[in-house]
Amino acid sequence: MTLQNTTSLTAALPYSLNVAANGTGQVGFENPGFNGIHVVPQTYRGQFYVRGTYNGVITASLVSNLTGEVFATAELPVTSTIGNWTHVIYTLVPTMTAPNINNSLLITFNAAKAIDKSLNFNFISLFPPTYNNRPNGLRPDLMETLAGLNPSFSRLPGGSNVEGESLKIPNEGPWLWNATVGPLINRPGRYGAWTHYDTGGLGLDEWLDFCVDLDMTPILGIFSGLVLDGTILNVTQLQPYIQNTLDMLEYILGSTSTQYGALRAQYGHAEPWNVRYIEFGNEDNLNGGLINYQDRYNAYYAAIKAGYPNITLVADTLEIDTPVGEMKDYHDYDTPDNLIKAYNFFDQNTTSVQTLIGEYACVYPNTASNAVNWTAGLWHHPFWIGTVSEAGMLSSRHSPYSIKARRANPTIHSLPPRRRAQRQ
Element (H, E) at 277: strand 277-280
Look at residue 397 in the predicted model and tell me its pLDDT. Answer: 52
What distance lies between CA 193 and its chain's CA centroid? 11
DSSP state of 10: B
Query: Could you say which of 60, 95, 127 is where a domain stops?
Result: 127
Bridge-based pairing of strands 197-198 and 44-51 is unpaired
208 and 242 belong to one structural domain: yes
187 and 207 belong to one structural domain: yes
> DSSP letters of 189-211?
-EE-TTSSEE-SSS-HHHHHHHH
302 and 357 belong to one structural domain: no
- Interval 93-150: pLDDT, tens: 999 999 999 999 999 999 999 999 999 999 999 999 999 999 999 999 999 999 999 9
Its sign, for the CA torsion 66, 67, 70, 76, is positive
153: nearest Cα among 376, 357, 380: 357
29 and 119 belong to one structural domain: yes
Cα–Cα distance measured from residue 246 to residue 250, given in angstroms and rounded to the nearest whole number: 6
Q: How many CB atoms lie within 10 A of CB 409?
A: 25
User: Total domain count for the chain?
Assistant: 3
Query: Could you say which of 82, 98, 127 is where a domain stops?
Result: 127
Cα–Cα distance measured from residue 358 to residue 331, given in angstroms and rounded to the nearest whole number: 6
37 and 89 belong to one structural domain: yes
* Residue 271, helix vs strand vs coil: coil
The CATH number assigned to the domain holding 54 equals 2.60.120.260
111 and 159 belong to one structural domain: no
Residue ranges making up the domain that contains 340: 327-424
21 and 62 belong to one structural domain: yes
Instruction: Give Cβ neighbours of residue 277 (< 8 Å, ≥ 6 apart).
Output: 153, 217, 218, 219, 220, 311, 312, 314, 327, 403
297 and 376 belong to one structural domain: no
List the chain pLDDT tens, one digit each, 424 residues: 999 998 899 999 999 999 999 888 999 999 999 899 999 999 999 999 999 999 999 999 999 999 999 999 999 999 999 999 999 999 999 999 999 999 999 999 999 999 999 999 999 999 999 999 999 999 999 999 999 999 999 999 888 889 988 888 777 889 999 999 999 999 999 888 877 888 899 999 999 999 999 999 999 999 999 999 999 999 999 999 999 999 999 999 999 999 999 999 999 999 999 999 999 999 999 888 999 999 999 999 999 999 999 999 999 988 888 998 899 998 889 999 999 988 876 776 667 778 888 888 999 999 888 888 888 888 888 899 999 999 888 776 554 444 443 333 333 333 333 333 333 3
Cα–Cα distance measured from residue 286 to residue 45, given in angstroms and rounded to the nearest whole number: 45
Look at residue 170 in the predicted model and tell me its pLDDT. Answer: 72
- Interval 160-219: pLDDT, tens: 889 988 888 777 889 999 999 999 999 999 888 877 888 899 999 999 999 999 999 999
